[in-house]
Amino acid sequence: MDIYSGKFAVIVIMVLLAILILQIMTNDNTNTLIDSETCELYVMDSQINAKQYLDEFDEKCLDFKNLNT
């Protein structure tokens, strides 16, 4: 099969799309959450059960905390 043929290009695109779909379907091991004390966003990795903070803050949470003080 010649790499310049139309069939080869279609096959490569289909394989890449299948890989992308598979990755999207199996990527459910992280959840973005909000720390209730600091209002900082973090990702909880369910495979290792650890938090990774993203150095971003939830504005609604911060506004709510400022109203309570």
DSSP 3-47: TTSHHHHHHHHHHHHHHHHHHHHH--SEEEEE-TTT-EEEEEETT
Q: Are 31 and 17 in contact (CB under 8 A)?
A: no
* pLDDT number for residue 50: 81
* pLDDT number for residue 37: 85
Q: Which token pair is 35?
A: 């720390």
The predicted-structure confidence for 9-61, as pLDDT tens digits, reads as follows 899 999 999 999 988 777 665 567 888 888 888 887 777 878 888 888 888 88
| Alpha carbons within 13 A on the beta-carbon side of 48 | 5
d(CA 16, CA 36) in angstroms, rounded, equals: 40
